[in-house]
Amino acid sequence: MLTALNSILTNSINSLGFNCSEELSKFAQVRTLTPIKLSKHFQSMSREFTERLSLKTYKNYQKMSL
């Protein structure tokens, strides 16, 4: 998949007339994939936090019911 993305980026940069398109495509690939990875990481952290908060709220509710 990354090879295909690199090829697409390289061809796109070549069509714009830039030199050193291989390096530019690698840079663009890093700039594209880094926010995606960070977003997935924060979504995972957010989901885990929400689950813990829900469990804690439920346990506190159970304690109050007794």
Q: Are 38 and 53 in contact (CB under 8 A)?
A: no
Distances (CA, A) of 43 to 50, 55, 64: 10, 18, 31
What is the spatial distance between Cα 8 and Cα 14, in angstroms, rounded to a whole number? Answer: 10
Nearest-angstrom CA–CA distance, 27 and 46: 29
- pLDDT, tens digit, for every residue of 49-60? 778 778 778 787
Predicted confidence at residue 35, as pLDDT, reads: 64
Task: Dump pLDDT digits (tens) for 19-40.
Answer: 766 777 777 776 666 666 666 7
Output the DSSP codes for 32-44: HHHHHHHHHHHHH
